[in-house]
Amino acid sequence: MPNTDLPSEQAADFRRVLARWYKQHARPLPWRETRDPYRIWVSEVMLQQTRVNAVLEHYARFLRKFPTIVSLALAPEADVLAVWSGLGYYRRARMLHKAAQFITAELDGVLPSTSAELRKLPGIGEYTSAAIASIAFGESIAVVDGNVERVLLRLTGRPEQATSESKRFVADQAAAVVPQRRSGTNAPGDHNQAMMELGATICLPRGPLCLQCPVYDFCRTRGEHKTEAREKMRSRRVAYLLHQRKRGSAIEVMLHRRPTDASLMPGMYELPELPMDGVEEYTPTLRVRHSITNTNYYVEVFTADKTLLRALPLSIREYEWCRLGQLADLPLTGLARKVLRRLHLIASPGVRMPQPETMMRQ
């Protein structure tokens, strides 16, 4: 392997140019308006493998409901999952909750302030410990996420490789350009965020915007760096049942709670699934697309009748009736949440709910 390192004498220039660019172009994101370590922590966990837009929809609501580590620790896990509903990777929410309980019980409710200590908490790995330590506490430690890796490989011209040697190389490069701690500013935290911001807004996976790049002069590849093609998407049709009943003045909808030992979304609520061959003759009440990793689900929702109820794969006792008024407090799967919102059975943000009497859907 040729020596692809950024010349070390250029590191200071690189830092300066990047810092100036970041000061001018940083997006105004809510977790950049605070130094509260808890809020930084929540944002970093939410941002794991998740787009900024999706996080924005959940971040404020999560912090309104759980404004402190202690309030999070004291909450039932189902409440935490309910607020997390739609963000995906629900294990993150469970681990965040567990970590908050540990911090409350063992650490006097205070989040550790070093990457080494943070690294020991559930859900906080190599990246997240460095991100919190640098952004919230000013520790001089480099973060390496997908953005930083892509940026550094392109800058140095080293090809993409999923080897430990390549990982080592990227980590070394990142460490070589991260600034020292200095009083009065947060140079390490700002630098780390700048590296990620560059990857997220300029050095895009496909079609990087090299003409706008502040560190074009430092780059060995300038748009010629290849990114691997990915696996093809699959498509699948699935059907779900919408079944409602009245109990007094309340309306209830029938849901299925996934087994608590399921590997996928354990303990979360979804609409009852119907076998596709049971719905051939029916017209769906609702169609939505739902994509999970490698699969586009083309989802159809059917309003219940006797025949459809007989087609259910489980005994009727295995389902649960849930009041419409409490749906928003349940740990719903993202799909269930999307469907129930689309049908106006739970409030979308900013939408006033109609009165219960008018809510029964056909």
Partner DNA sequence: GACGCGTGGAC
Partner DNA sequence: TGTCCAAGCGT
Figure out which of the listed residues 7, 67, 205, 275 binds DNA, where binding follows CB under 7 A.
205
Residue 226 touches DNA, criterion: CB under 7 A: no
Of residues 51 and 352, the one with the C-beta less far from DNA: 51
Q: What are phi and psi of 121, to 5 degrees?
A: -80, 145
* Distances 222 to 1, 4, 16, 144, 216 between C-alpha atoms, Å: 20, 15, 20, 21, 7
Instruction: State the binding string over 73-112 for DNA (x if CB under 7 A, else -).
Output: ------------xxxxxxx---x-----------------
At a CB cut-off of 8 Å and minimum separation 6, what does 98 contact?
A: 122, 123
* Contact stretch for DNA (CB under 7 A) within 183-191, 212-220, 226-234, 322-330: 226-234
Can 44 be counted among the known catalytic residues? yes
Among 72, 80, 131, 253, binds DNA (CB under 7 A): 131
Residues of span 337-356 touching DNA by CB under 7 A? 337-338
Between CA 347 and CA 262 the distance in angstroms is: 28
Contact 219, 225 (CB under 8 A): no
The verdict on 47 binding DNA (CB under 7 A) reads yes
Selected binder of DNA within 6, 124, 253, 345 (CB under 7 A): 124
As measured in angstroms, the least distance from the Cβ of 331 to DNA is: 10
* Site membership for DNA, residue 327 (CB under 7 A): no
Torsion of CA 103, 106, 111, 115, to 10 degrees: -110
Q: What is the C-alpha radius of gyration for the chain, rounded to an integer number of angstroms? A: 24
Q: Which residues are within 8 A (CB) of 287 and not within 5 positions of it... i.e. 6 or more apart?
A: 298, 299, 300, 301
Please, which of residues 252-311 interact with DNA by CB under 7 A? 263-265, 287, 289-293, 296, 298
Pick one of 116, 204, 276, 360: the residue that binds DNA (CB under 7 A). 204
Residues 6+ apart with CB under 8 A from 273: 238, 239, 240, 241, 256, 313
Count of residues engaged in binding DNA, rule: CB under 7 A? 66
**Closer Cβ to DNA, 44 or 252, answer by number:** 44
Asked if 238 interacts with DNA (CB under 7 A), we say: no
CA distance linking residue 122 with residue 362, whole number of Å: 45
Residue pair 362/286 in contact (Cβ under 8 Å)? The answer is: no
Closest CB to DNA among 45 and 253?
A: 45
d(CA 143, CA 149): 10
Nearer to DNA, 7 or 30 (CB): 30
Structure tokens at 110: 């205070």
Query: Of 323, 329, 319, nearest to 241 (Cα)?
Result: 319
Ranges within 15-44 binding DNA (CB under 7 A): 29, 31, 43-44
Residues 6+ apart with CB under 8 A from 90: 81, 84, 265, 268, 331
Chain residues that interact with DNA, rule: CB under 7 A:
29, 31, 43-44, 47-54, 85-91, 95, 122-129, 131, 145-147, 150, 162-164, 193, 196-197, 199-200, 204-206, 227, 229-230, 232-233, 235, 263-265, 287, 289-293, 296, 298, 333-335, 337-338
Active site residues: 44
